[in-house]
Structure 1
Amino acid sequence: MRNGFHYPRPARTGIGRQPLDVEGIAYFSSVNPRWFNPSLTYGCVKEHEVSQFIPHFVLYDKICLTFRAFFKQPVFESPLEHYRVRKVNILYFLEDDTITVIEPEVENSGIKHGRLVRRNRIPKTAHGDFWHWKDFNIGIKMTMYGVMYHITDCDIFTKEYLQSQGIELNDPEEMPPDPYTLNRQLKLKSHSHKTEWTDDKFRRFLEYDGKILRFFAVWDDRDSEYGQLRQYIIYYYLADDTVEVHEVYKENDGRDPVPLLLRKMKLPREWKDLPIDFPSVMTVADEEATAYYTSKDFLVGETIFILGRRFLIYNTDTFTRKYFKEVLNITQRDAIDVFEKKPPPPVMPIPPYLGFGSPEDSLQSCLTVTIPQPPKKDVVQYLDNVSKYLRYEAIMDWVHPEDKDRKFVFSYSLSDCSITISEIPKRNSGFMEGTYLKSTRIPKPGTNLDDPEYYTPADLYIGAVVTVFTQRFIITGADLFVYHYMQTNPEKFPPHITDNIRNYMIKAGHLKEDTADHVQELEKEGEERKKNLNC
């Protein structure tokens, strides 16, 4: 109803001005058309998504097509050339369809380069048409402001863009050469030459000042009377190719310490044919280039003559070897042993042991001329084993009946390998108890008196016979600490010695745990034997 008048409602249409389903007959034939919802049957109508608008100048901003071209510029009133080939780059900007022409710089061309055509839209015809990127292709000719450009190639981006737009590009063409540029290149090439290298003294001073090659040499003068093999050091100065020789002096060699054998000078090869005014007058000539020794002549193992003396080079320092290898590409040989080896000093024979003191104490008086020093002790062994003793019980291998019941205690000191023998007191025995033998290293019978072999803990076990200076003793017992020491140091004792002490400790009842284990092992062995017999 509008302004009080009834108007029919216009039919609603969808996309493409097609009638909607709600306007159909099925809708009006429904019992209750007000409750009919077509979206429940056909689904919701999808709305058309409108893409975001991007302006043309924003989409193609800073994007340009590059074409390589040339044009021929005529040259008038010149007998040498009639035209010049000028190479240019044509840039087409896609954002506003403008074109600019730029000529790259050519060396020694004599022409001002740069922008030839400013950036603008260039007319194609007189009817108001402009050049468009669809008109460009390889091999075509295009005229801009009266100049005809021939396109020969383009860059990779331009090729990909034109091919993506459906333009088929022609094959690239070669750029024709410029006669004037070729002529200039030939003239420059004919006049170009390399300056010959000259051995500039100032350059050598700046490069090699302070760098000296050092060679170790000997002069063998033993053929003459009172001659010797004398050592020298040869210094070669790289800054001016001069040589200096120093003699190596030793302490108390009887020679005057002259600082230099040869002062710093250029060393000639032919020393016999030297002029009278050498070296006060020196002229530079080509024939003199080989008249002096150079650094390449000083090699290990080579012999050089220094003003009549023959020197053998036997070694060099590290810097000299590195210089020869990196600069001269020469590898020096290893050092040569040219010195005679001194004979070893004579060994004085050791006199036999006379029986005074110990053999070690007597030996100290033979090793030194001054006041003899006492034998040196092993301090580490002493500190590790101080107050540690291995105690054994022993009886005397008696000959006389009164010695039958005497018992002794052997105390072996681990700090100095000495043995102390003490007698166990017995009532009415008639013998004094206490120290029988003070702390002494006891040698084994039958050993060399000059270098005797002494008793060690490995020689003391149950039943062992120990001869103490012709008196025989039999070991009958041991302390529990002896067994623990054997367990701690098994490498010092043979297995049978360890088993000997272990069996004694088990019988004496000192090793109850080992006894129980031994009994269990015997029981297991007995049970296994019974099973085998029953089978």
Structure 2
Amino acid sequence: MAGLPRLPGFNFQDPTLCKFHLSQTFAIRNGYKQPKCQYKGIGGRELDCDSVKHIEKDDPIRYDPSLTYGRCKIKPLPPFIPHFALYDQKCLTFKAFFKQSVTESPLEFYRVRPVNIIYFLEDDTISVMEPRVENSGLLQGKLVRRGKIPKYDNTESFWHWKDLQVGKDLAFYGIVYHTVDCDVFTREYMASQGLDMADPEEMPIDQHTLNRKLQVTPKITKTPSSDDKLRRFLEYDGKVLKFKAVWDDRENEYGDLMRFEILYFLSDDTVVVKNVQEENSGRDPYPVLLRKTKLPKRYTDIPTTYPSIYLEKSDNEVTEYYQPKDFLVGNTIFVLGRDMFLYDCDKFTRDYFKNALCIEQKPALPIKEAKTPPPRPQVPPHDGLGSLEDSLQNTLTFLPKPPRKDVVKQIVNANKYLRYEMKMDAVHPEDTIRKFILQYSLGDGTCKIMEPPIKNSGIIGGKYLRSTLLNKPDSDLLNPELYTPADFYIGATITVFGQRFIITGADLYVYRYMQENDSKFPCDVIENMRNWMFNQGYLKDDLNDLVKENLQATKRFDETIADTNKSDFDKCLKDLNVGSSSSDSEIDKAKKAKLLQDYEDSIKHIYQVPPHGILPVQKECAYPVHIGKEKDLSCSEDIEAKYTSYTPKHIDTPEEVISKYYAGVLKNQQEICDGRYPVECTDPPKVDSNSCNKEEESGPIMISPPEIPPGACQGKKKTVTFKEDERCTIEKDDLCQLKREKIHCDCTDYMTDCI
């Protein structure tokens, strides 16, 4: 603007202004300085801030809402309601009483008559009303008409609501009324006017009216039950809740723990208590303790005036009966003075409580007490008369009974006996020739001893001991230990009433019985009896059957291997029955016969006779073989294809020769170990001086090499070595119970060279 020319229209100042003085801040009035409320600009001009154009839109001080929203509506004044319309049907009610004197009655002097004082607010009038009572004989109802009642004989002043109060005496026409209470509206209205009502008082009792009420018997009516008895009978007939209970009467003299069964009939809510009779209880077997009836909870809760001497109680006298919900396992119920503890219930009862009443019954509770076992009575010693079992029966009961027998054992083992041959452990020389037969009965466990007669011996044979139970020596007299078949074996010594016997033989049935009942006998006894039976030659059939079983098992094993080596094509041809024996050529038949004969010859000596009748025991191989280096030999392929397998011949080893020798001695001399005849012990024959002489050079083991055609090997050399420790020193028992050391030749390598 400074660069504008000073021409009319290019400046912003008013050229008409000629006053430039400033207005004063204070104004002097009555000699005092007072600040001015309105200011003016230079020269008395109006300021921009005082103009309407310069007022901001959001100025809260100068903003007038009426310019935007218009003037607000003024609330109209409430309409005028006259006094009679405002308090129409509004009353103040006070409860009061007055006493009326009675002059001509010896029983009473006054009566208390309750009244209601009603004050009408619309016109300030008062009325007194007395409630009507039946058969009172008094004129009741409105005692004072509605109107204004003067105060104290002053006709100018009347009773006003401001004069009313609870607990105050009011005199209306010569009768004094005493107020005792007021209603809720009266209290609220008085409180709104600034008057607080006093606490209510009790209304006095009219003695004459009370005596009349006591003399009048009230009429009692009983509402019939809504339960339909016919419907309950049709629905619950035959459905009974069964509980097990116990009555503990041990606190009284001769009391005991008695058991009962409580039956609850759902059809009519009756209860039956049955007695559970126990054996040897000493009580009369009465079946029912309580007949079918409703069971009250408190049977003593009856009126004092009820003539219970000659009248029975009915439903009117009983307050409450037992219901199904009261019968819970673990609770105690009272059956006419007896407290019975419920400890169990049946399955139907548990299901009924669970499904119908949603109550889970507790499991059965134990009620038995752990009784200490009585001390065992002392058994007197046996006097020697009769058997021990028969004598013990005299100590058990007053009237002795015969001892019980195992009838099942006697029936199963009827006529079954084990026979043994015995000799006497002789002290005198003449008793050495005596023989005895022990017969053990499997039915009753008794033993019987017979002596065969010997001609020209001077000894009378026959029955030596009748059938009786044999006690072992040094056993308890009251609980003796008896002899059993497990104690009888070859060489065993038994004592029969002080006499010693040695068992020397047995029947073959004894060994068969041991095989069938091997759990009743020790292994040593069974092995002892088997060895003796083998020495006597009684087990030849068993050996033959065992050899046949081994041959058949080996043959089946070889056939199985032969079938597995066949190709699938051969198996298919065999299933289709193609290439049968009828179509084979004669050459194939001869070849098959030769191979079969070679196989039969190779298995002849597989089973070895055990020395002294002892069966072989499965052990590791006593002669482990160690294969050494092989030789290189040249063989043609045509010979190798022709001779793919061969059958070696078997030659007896020195051990087999010795075992066969002892087997022959045992077979020829059956009584060699009896001790009856002396036996001279001889050394076994020597096998070969070249093979068992230590001083000579070591030679090969006597095993014949197989017949191998020329060039059958594959150009290899094999070396076979045997272990020295286990083979070169072997101990065996001979017949005379002597141990001899058998020393064989030195072990050498067996060299096989191909031709």
TM-score by length of 2: 0.38
Residues 280-302 of structure 1 show CA distances to partners (whole Å, capped at 9, x for unaligned) of 47499xxx8xx554321221111
Contact kept? 2:416, 2:443, Cα under 8 Å: yes
Which residues in structure 2 correspond to 1:255-274 (within 5 Å)?
261=290, 264-265=293-294, 267-268=296-297, 272=301
Is 1:463 the counterpart of 2:491? The answer is yes
Contact kept? 1:243, 1:267, Cα under 8 Å: no
What is the match of residue 502 of structure 1?
Answer: 530
Give, in whole Å, the separation in 1 of the partners of 2:287 and 2:489: 74
Is 1:398 the counterpart of 2:426? The answer is yes
Give, in whole Å, the separation in 2 of the partners of 1:527 and 1:210: 90
Give, in whole Å, the separation in 1 of the partners of 2:499 and 2:317: 100
Contact kept? 2:329, 2:362, Cα under 8 Å: yes
In structure 1, stretches of 5+ residues that fail to align are 1-196
What is the match of residue 595 of structure 2?
Answer: none
Residues 502-528 of structure 1 show CA distances to partners (whole Å, capped at 9, x for unaligned) of 222222233335667674467789479
Residues 421-449 of structure 1 show CA distances to partners (whole Å, capped at 9, x for unaligned) of 33343344332233333333322212122
RMSD across aligned C-alpha pairs, in angstroms? 4.1
* Pairing partner for 2:443 from 389, 394, 415: 415
Deviation at 1:341, TM superposition (A): 6.6
Give, in whole Å, the separation in 1 of the partners of 2:538 and 2:434: 24
What is the match of residue 208 of structure 1?
Answer: 236
* Pairing partner for 2:413 from 380, 385, 389: 385
Point out which structure has higher relative CO (alpha carbons under 8 A, 6+ apart). 1
Residues 329-364 of structure 1 show CA distances to partners (whole Å, capped at 9, x for unaligned) of 112122334455777676433221222222223223
Contact kept? 1:213, 1:236, Cα under 8 Å: yes
Residues 362/271 of structure 1: CA separation in 2 closer, same or farther (3 Å cut): closer
Contact kept? 2:275, 2:287, Cα under 8 Å: no
Residues 479/346 of structure 1: CA separation in 2 closer, same or farther (3 Å cut): same
Give the number of the structure whose alpha-carbon radius of gyration is greater. Answer: 2
What is the match of residue 360 of structure 2?
Answer: 331
Amino acid at match of 2:486: A
Deviation at 1:463, TM superposition (A): 1.4
**SS at the partner of 1:447?**
coil
Is 1:321 the counterpart of 2:350? The answer is yes
Amino acid at match of 1:248: N
Amino acid at match of 1:486: M
Give, in whole Å, the separation in 1 of the partners of 2:413 and 2:260: 57
**SS at the partner of 1:329?**
coil
What is the match of residue 248 of structure 1?
Answer: 275
Give, in whole Å, the separation in 2 of the partners of 1:309 and 1:457: 64
Is 1:369 the counterpart of 2:393? The answer is no
* Pairing partner for 2:500 from 455, 464, 472: 472
Contact kept? 1:232, 1:245, Cα under 8 Å: no
Residues 57-106 of structure 1 show CA distances to partners (whole Å, capped at 9, x for unaligned) of xxxxxxxxxxxxxxxxxxxxxxxxxxxxxxxxxxxxxxxxxxxxxxxxxx
Name which of structure 1's ranges 327-336 and 383-392 shifts more when overlaid on structure 2. Answer: 383-392
Contact kept? 1:506, 1:514, Cα under 8 Å: no
Residues 235/463 of structure 1: CA separation in 2 closer, same or farther (3 Å cut): closer
What is the match of residue 294 of structure 1?
Answer: 323
Residues 378/397 of structure 1: CA separation in 2 closer, same or farther (3 Å cut): same
Give, in whole Å, the separation in 2 of the partners of 1:207 and 1:391: 76
Is 1:483 the counterpart of 2:507? The answer is no
Amino acid at match of 2:324: S
Amino acid at match of 2:344: N
**SS at the partner of 1:393?**
strand
**SS at the partner of 1:412?**
strand
Amino acid at match of 1:335: A
Residues 332/400 of structure 1: CA separation in 2 closer, same or farther (3 Å cut): same
Amino acid at match of 2:360: T
What is the match of residue 463 of structure 2?
Answer: 435
Residues 422/534 of structure 1: CA separation in 2 closer, same or farther (3 Å cut): farther
Give, in whole Å, the separation in 2 of the partners of 1:281 and 1:370: 59
Give, in whole Å, the separation in 2 of the partners of 1:356 and 1:494: 36
Amino acid at match of 1:313: L
Is 1:358 the counterpart of 2:397? The answer is no
Is 1:446 the counterpart of 2:489? The answer is no
Residues 506/525 of structure 1: CA separation in 2 closer, same or farther (3 Å cut): farther
Give, in whole Å, the separation in 1 of the partners of 2:412 and 2:248: 58
Residues 297/350 of structure 1: CA separation in 2 closer, same or farther (3 Å cut): same
Deviation at 1:472, TM superposition (A): 1.4
Deviation at 1:229, TM superposition (A): 4.5
Deviation at 1:328, TM superposition (A): 0.9
**SS at the partner of 2:395?**
helix
Give, in whole Å, the separation in 2 of the partners of 1:507 and 1:258: 76
Deviation at 1:383, TM superposition (A): 3.6
Amino acid at match of 1:420: K
What is the match of residue 140 of structure 1?
Answer: none
Contact kept? 1:395, 1:476, Cα under 8 Å: yes
Give, in whole Å, the separation in 2 of the partners of 1:419 and 1:292: 75
Give, in whole Å, the separation in 2 of the partners of 1:463 and 1:266: 82
Amino acid at match of 2:437: V
**SS at the partner of 2:524?**
helix
Give, in whole Å, the separation in 2 of the partners of 1:352 and 1:218: 45
Is 1:492 the counterpart of 2:525? The answer is no
Give, in whole Å, the separation in 2 of the partners of 1:208 and 1:223: 40
**SS at the partner of 2:360?**
coil
**SS at the partner of 2:353?**
helix
What is the match of residue 178 of structure 1?
Answer: none
Amino acid at match of 1:508: Q
Deviation at 1:322, TM superposition (A): 2.5
Deviation at 1:279, TM superposition (A): 5.2
Give, in whole Å, the separation in 2 of the partners of 1:366 and 1:308: 46
Residues 126-172 of structure 1 show CA distances to partners (whole Å, capped at 9, x for unaligned) of xxxxxxxxxxxxxxxxxxxxxxxxxxxxxxxxxxxxxxxxxxxxxxx
Give, in whole Å, the separation in 2 of the partners of 1:357 and 1:480: 35
Give, in whole Å, the separation in 2 of the partners of 1:508 and 1:281: 99
Identical aligned residues as a percent? 48
Residues 480/219 of structure 1: CA separation in 2 closer, same or farther (3 Å cut): closer
Give, in whole Å, the separation in 2 of the partners of 1:258 and 1:440: 52
Give, in whole Å, the separation in 1 of the partners of 2:411 and 2:321: 71
Deviation at 1:268, TM superposition (A): 4.7
Give, in whole Å, the separation in 2 of the partners of 1:258 and 1:427: 79
Give, in whole Å, the separation in 2 of the partners of 1:260 and 1:427: 85
Give, in whole Å, the separation in 2 of the partners of 1:255 and 1:390: 56
Give, in whole Å, the separation in 2 of the partners of 1:385 and 1:490: 17
**SS at the partner of 1:510?**
coil
In structure 2, stretches of 5+ residues that fail to align are 1-224, 307-311, 548-606, 612-651, 658-700, 704-721, 723-746, 750-755
**SS at the partner of 2:342?**
strand
Amino acid at match of 2:357: L
